[in-house]
Structure 1
Amino acid sequence: MEMLCAKVEYTVYENNSDIGGTWFENRYPGCACDVPSHCYSYHFPEWPKFLSSREDIWQYLDPICKVFDLRRNMKFNSEVIEARWDEESAIWRVRVRKRKPNGMTRVSEDTCDVLWYNSALLNQWNGPEVEVRIMHSANWQDDFH
């Protein structure tokens, strides 16, 4: 990506505190990919298994981000809350909510010519309003027994 986009400025807003998306969030025991890892990977490096665990996937992504210094263009704990096309200016206006370590949030606006939005299909879940503990794979709690 760096070679192809050498003169392109880009920012990745990531809702989580680190890379990985669904593989960062889903931490339940035995969480693994049901698609052969090589089907949707870069041409480097080798995968340890045909069907990789979530840990293997993260350990694959992390060095790639380090080698290519991809995190420098990533803003973590940042949720895109609105994106709208400004016809008059011919730009996207993107509102982002940044969560700070103290729990406070700050909303800011960014602009861009091109918007590539990846929706979080696997972590936007709802459950019934009941008075028992509900567990969902997208929000696994390590203290669950």
Structure 2
Amino acid sequence: MFATTNKAFLTSVCFMTALAFSPAQAATDPVQVKLTANEVVKDSKGAEQLRAIGQLNGKEVVRYSATYTNTSSAAISDMAVTLPIPANMSFNGIASPSSALASIDGVNYLPMPLTQVIDGKTVKVPYSQYKSLRWQIKLLPARKSATVTADTQLDLTK
């Protein structure tokens, strides 16, 4: 089971990397993207540390980070960046910057927490239903980078 779980997880990382960056795009796009996935662990003092991902059993927190680097000599304004949540992972509500917009369909993005009306009552949409997050980078100066992150956990029910 663990081998299958890690295979599915690595497939998701590879797929997300392919979505975020393609070699053909690199020659013409002034923005380069680096996507990483690390396990979030706490040290003895409670401080978060990032480490390489090993075997996953569903309890670990995996942080996806996307770093966008402006390789041009001019600033880039109003850049929307999207970080999909892999199909076998569930978002746990922690994103940075906290201004992330969320989507349950990958098309419509709204501020978190998302809500829906069920039987006439407004309820929060479970984070496990979030499909992607989007941030608006107002200004990315020349030769500078901006990083967005989303914390997830393996969802063995998906």
TM-score range, shorter chain: under 0.3
More strand by share: 2
TM-score w.r.t. length of structure 1: 0.24
Instruction: Tell me: higher relative CO, structure 1 or 2? Use CA pairs within 8 A at least 6 residues apart.
Output: 2
